Amino acid sequence: MGLVATDYGIKEALAQLGVIEINDGSSTGSNFFSNGELLSSFSPVDGKLIAKVKTTTAEDYENVLSTASDAFLEWRKVPAPQRGEVVRQFGDKLRELKDPLGKLVSYEMGKSLQEGLGEVQEMIDICDFAVGLSRQLHGLTMHSERPGHRMYEQYHALGIVGIISAFNFPVAVWAWNTALAWICGDVCVWKPSEKAPLCGIACQNIAAQVFKANGLPEGISCLINGDYKVGEMMTSDQRVPLVSATGSIRMGKIVAQKVAGRLGKSLLELGGNNAIIVSPDADIKMTIIGAVFGAVGTAGQRCTSTRRLIIHDSIYDKVKDALVEAYSQLRIGNPLDENNHVGPLIDVDAVNMYKKAIEEVVKEGGNLLLEGGVLDGEGYESGCYVKPAIAEANNKFNIVQHETFAPILYLLKYSGELQNAIALQNGVVQGLSSAIMTNNLREAEMFLSVAGSDCGIANVNIGTSGAEIGGAFGGEKETGGGRESGSDAWKVYMRRQTNTINYTADLPLAQGIKFDL
């Protein structure tokens, strides 16, 4: 069922993860109740077919939901610290398999090997965070207005958590959700991107080993594969109280409406149109490093990728020239070769969107400093490798207002006070990540104030891309408003309950109401 690359140990990595059999590369391992049509996974690295997996039918989905529902009845009764112990074991298993899983992420998705390994490290980190959290699922105790009464609130497991993830982070975002959901006593049903299904199978194999070793029901972690139609089964299912979806704004609006229509909960992580403000007091060297990585890392396919650079007119030419010089040093090629900076886009459709965006910015009056273009020839046979582009543009351009998942950076100029730059930064419908480069304390504090960035993430002297596990991740406006990962993001995976206990022989009513019989 497919050929796999022999270079860089990819075939061995796939075998270690249980995705294929090492003897002939033909098996995709367990199909997890799947009996649908075959879904092919091609690598954007070399264009080769890696393997095929069976997609989930409606009947398969019912089997999965039944299995998950039964597992929840058992898992929710396991004490949270014991659930934490299971997650600790899962994290240790990820440590053992970090290298092969990182290689699979790099090969199937196209990000650099360092980023692939970093994504697995994010999974390990969120497991560590969740283990500590398993002893801190705390509520509040409050004083009652009625004598002899005690009030408190507590959190209970929610049930089945549906997870829909995107191709750009094919394993980490699932782990952000599932590690916290497991700690909270929930079970998870995951639909990975149809563009990276093998990463999903690999993660499911790892989780299944851990749960089996602990004598726990297999339905605690479930996998469904396929396109948006499979996701629709979950978003419209009353048995799934929470759907966490990562993807485009268009997709998120569909999910939100469908889930809200049945009064369910949705956790949405949608598009970004992220900007770095470069003030006259910026450290230029630091700015260039942050901007270049933010714009071209993962070939511009992060939701936190830097799309806009808002530069003060007094240093505009200096920053522009330094950027062009830095871009000339970028090496584009096989992401498993650690000498390269930029890998491929996910597929030819993404390449076409990249080309269209460049055409549009020119039509709207933009000036291309670096024209970009699609690479061909030896090493670029997949047709997915493109040159990072830079365009001088206007924030009001239609194409600048939209997110293009590609390495295209728009340079915008501002003059006068910082508030003018902040207005440009906030002048888009997305509100995920933002940053300012400045050594001016007043500017930094203004950017972080209520009159500053309107994004869920606001950074000073670092770029827009990259986030630590300890902080809650997510954005405002049409980014969806969801929060994942650290801080108190765990609360969305649980239901809150307020409890009042009367330990007297009387029954006083609240607000002093009298009701005597």
Catalytic residues: 269, 303
Cβ pair 278, 411 in contact under 8 A: no
DSSP 346-402: SSHHHHHHHHHHHHHHHHTT-EEEE--EE--STT-TTS--EE-EEEE--TTSHHHHS
The residue assigned the tokens 């194999």 is 205
**What is the rounded CA–CA span in Å between residue 240 and residue 57?**
18
Residue type, 243: V
Cβ pair 87, 321 in contact under 8 A: no
Give the sign of the dihedral formed by CA 74, CA 79, CA 82, CA 83. Answer: positive
Of the candidates 175, 189, 166, 258, the one whose C-alpha atom is nearest the C-alpha of residue 34 is 189
Residue type, 174: W
**What is the rounded CA–CA span in Å between residue 475 and residue 249?**
12
Q: CA dihedral defined by 414, 418, 419, 421, rounded to 10 degrees?
A: 30
Of the candidates 82, 84, 76, the one whose C-alpha atom is nearest the C-alpha of residue 133 is 84
**What is the rounded CA–CA span in Å between residue 344 and residue 45?**
6
Strand-strand pairing, 494-502 and 149-157: antiparallel
Strand order in the sheet with 274-278: 367-370, 389-392, 408-414, 306-312, 274-278, 433-437, 457-460
The residue assigned the tokens 């004083």 is 143
How many Å is the Cα radius of gyration of the chain?
25
Cα–Cα distance list, 18 to 1, 27, 462, 497 (Å): 15, 9, 39, 42
Residue type, 122: E
**What is the rounded CA–CA span in Å between residue 186 and residue 83?**
10
Record the tokens describing residue 423, joined without a space: 């207005």
DSSP 61-83: HHHHHHHHHHHHHHHTTS-HHHH
**What is the rounded CA–CA span in Å between residue 227 and residue 363?**
34
Q: How far is CA 223 from the centre of its chain?
A: 17
Cβ pair 470, 132 in contact under 8 A: no
Record the tokens describing residue 381, joined without a space: 């046979």
